[in-house]
Chains A and B, each alone.
Chain A
Amino acid sequence: MLEIIKDGLRATLTSYRDFQGTGLIVALFLFLLVYLAFSQRNRYVKDALVKYPVYVLLVFFCPVWYVYVYYFEDYEILYRILWLLPLGVVICYTLTEVVMGLNEKFRIPAFMVAIIVLVICGKYTYSSEYITLAENEYHVPDTVVKICDEISVDGREIRAAFPDEFLIYVRQYTSKICLPYGREMFMNFGSWGNELQKTVNADVIDSEACAFWLRDTETPYLIVSSSKKFTENISAYDFVYVTSIDGYDIYLDNNAYIGSDFD
């Protein structure tokens, strides 16, 4: 029982800490919540923008979740309870009310100050390192599109081992290219392709092991960075070099039937 409480409390606090990030926006929200509680005259607005958020916070910190976390779900989704908080509405409404309460000639400067407060307390979403100019209409790297188009076979699926950096993109672009291992590799779910993934992504690829695991997982295609070194030439294991695309080499198992007679 004590363990459930300890784990649950830790999970809740971790979720809250992760959610608030720098903490400035949440601090601003809490400050404006208190301000609104004392300044707001409209009871319905007060119910929706003060009492309801307090209710959500009470629910979030309620110990019932400890049991839920322990028996049903991982704690990582607990932060979603905080999505019920109307953060933006409370902050923006209160700031607007403050600005509108001023003399007309001060409104524009006060509005600018409100914008600056939001900018300073928050962080620009598009500053994320994961945001880049889209290379095509699929929002996956062009290299992935070119490689998939090169190895795809009309009328059937084909399996290919890709380096880790492409795993999240391949099957977003096409379901006709299958993978011996996917993103679950990084989520500790385990997969058939576990050993193959380690081999393909090693600094120096063990050619014998690589050929063995590719055949074991019925994977005719291997895609590796052109800069990767093999312990020996993989052609010794009957894998032939097909072509290179954007710095990635494509190899094909010479013994594999890839269904090219569909063409």
Chain B
Amino acid sequence: MLTVKIILLCITVYLSCYLTGGLICPERDRKTPGLKIVYGLMILWAVFFAVTVVFVLFQKRVYERGFTFDATPLWNASNLVTVYLALALILSVAGIVMGVLRLLKNAEKTTDEERNAPLVLDRYEIMILGLFIALVLFQIIKSVFFAFADGDDSYYVSVAQLMTGGEQTLYMKDPYTGYPTSVQMRYALAPFPVWVGTLGCIFGLNAATVAHICMPLLLIPITYVIYNAVGNLLFGSNRTGKYMFLCLVAIFVMFSYYSINPSEVFFLTRTRQGKEALANIVIPILFYDMFRRASLEALKYDTKNYILIILIELSGALTSVFGNILILIMLFANFIYAFYRKASLRYKFMSALLAVPPVLIVAIYYLL
């Protein structure tokens, strides 16, 4: 039963990400199902961040006004789960509708050649790709069946555990001990563990199981999807080069324990923590997006692309408050680059405007 629930959780999250991702996926990435999943995850994380912060701030306000929580149950954790589930369902259905409409619209345009183009790999490519897949499977199996003792889990996983344990307040109990506490905005503005707990509530799984088993199953492949996309940009049609690159990345990741701080160590040992998602999903997808826009799209934003970056920013905020600062550093690089490449005034202005969401979140952090 446990295995069924874990599989169900993973399939459902991947499927909802895939369907939702279709809403925002840029034209040139549409043929890459993996990237659709990544973009869908960005949408679902951004939505979760927005909803949770509203819940936390209202709860905080209720308490600061001296009301007991029981008197104002509207902003409780159960309602948060319901609201998020409803929004995720609505987004998934919208993704299906948009996908069907797009399919009908493009059905005539698709040539037989496009439909039937098979992927033919030579022996050399099969060998390298096989090695890469084996390495990724090895990493997933290691993460699922081996435990990594990390002190930070006693905070993050315990926050998720409070959710699945039926606690209705958010960040108002010290996860280390269970004593009542005031909301610490540093954690409340980066509610990634609450997302882990929410998945546990929806699928009836213990938060520790979601954190330690489901998160590696969900997030490790997603990071490799982004590496694959970066590989596409770097190697173009040179498949052998791309597979070799991916293979080396997988080995590089496995041999990154030269210190405890590299993002790759977090990737394999602390997959359930927001910091890992920041370092290995949010930062790489933003890097990919900037790289792609610079190299293939002649420094232009379309509306979808612009919204996508804002969603990535909010996803970064979900994972870590310091993530907002890191995203600002990347956006500043993008802004300087616009001047270096003599981009249009509109592009520079839009690039500057992108800094607004993370600046606002950091401001909320320091003001509250």
Residue from A20, A44, A88 having most chain B Cβ neighbours under 10 A: A88
Whether A83 and B279, one on each chain, are in contact in the complex, defined by CB atoms closer than 8 angstroms, is yes
Q: What does DSSP make chain A's interface, helix, strand, loop or mixed? A: helix
Please, how many angstroms separate the alpha-carbon atoms of A157 and B240 in the complex? Answer: 58
Chain A interface residues (CB < 8 Å from chain B): 18-25, 44-45, 47-48, 52, 55-56, 59, 72-73, 77, 79-84, 86-89, 91-93, 95-97, 99-100, 108, 111, 114-115, 118-119, 121-128, 130-135, 137-140, 157, 159, 167-169, 171-184, 186, 191-193
Measured CB to CB, the residues of B under 8 A from A are 2, 124, 128, 142, 144-151, 153-155, 157-158, 161-162, 164-165, 167, 173-179, 206-209, 211-213, 227, 230, 234-235, 238, 240-241, 244-245, 248-249, 251-265, 268-269, 275, 278-279, 283-284, 287, 290-291, 294-295, 320, 322, 326, 329-330, 333, 336-337, 366
Q: Which of A124, A133, A157, A191 contacts B255 (CB 8 A)?
A: A124
Q: A169 and B154: CB pair below 8 A?
A: yes
- The listed residue (A99, A121, A178) touching B177 by CB distance below 8 A is A178
Task: Kindly list chain A residues whose C-beta atoms are within 8 Å of the C-beta of B164.
Answer: 175
In the complex with contacts A22-B259, A128-B257, A133-B146 CB distance below 8 A? yes
Q: CA A127 – CA B252 in complex, angstroms?
A: 15
Looking at B258, B322, B330, B336, which has the most chain A CB atoms within 10 Å of its CB? B258
For the complex of A and B, the 5 pairs showing the least CB-CB separation, nearest first, are A21-B259, A182-B176, A122-B255, A178-B178, A175-B165
Contact assessment for B294 and A44 in the assembled complex, using a CB-CB cutoff below 8 Å:
yes
Closest A residue to B153 by beta carbon equals A172
Q: Is the CB of B248 within 8 A of A183?
A: no
List the A side residues contacting B148 at CB < 8 Å. 128, 130-131, 139
For B260, what are the chain A residues with a Cβ–Cβ distance below 8 Å?
18, 21
CB of A183, distance to nearest CB on chain B (Å): 4
Whether B241 and A191, one on each chain, are in contact in the complex, defined by CB atoms closer than 8 angstroms, is no
17 new A-B pairs (CB below 8 Å) besides A22-B259, A89-B249? A19-B259, A22-B258, A73-B322, A83-B263, A83-B279, A83-B283, A100-B241, A111-B128, A121-B255, A123-B256, A134-B145, A138-B206, A139-B148, A157-B178, A159-B178, A172-B158, A178-B179
**How far apart sit A220 and B209, CA to CA, in the bound complex (Å)?**
28
Query: What is the number of contacts between chain A and chain B, taking CB atoms within 8 Å?
Result: 241
- A183 with B176: in contact, given A80-B279, A92-B252 (CB under 8 Å)? yes
Given contacts A80-B322, A172-B158, whether A25 and B256 have CB atoms under 8 Å apart is yes
Q: Contacts of A131 on B, CB cut-off 8 Å?
A: 142, 146-148, 269
User: Judging by beta carbons under 8 Å apart, are A81 and B329 in contact?
Assistant: yes
CA distance A133 to B275 in the complex (A): 24
Q: Which residues from A are CB-within-8-Å of B329? A: 56, 59, 81, 84
B39 CB to nearest chain A CB (Å)? 20
A115 touches B208 (CB 8 A): no
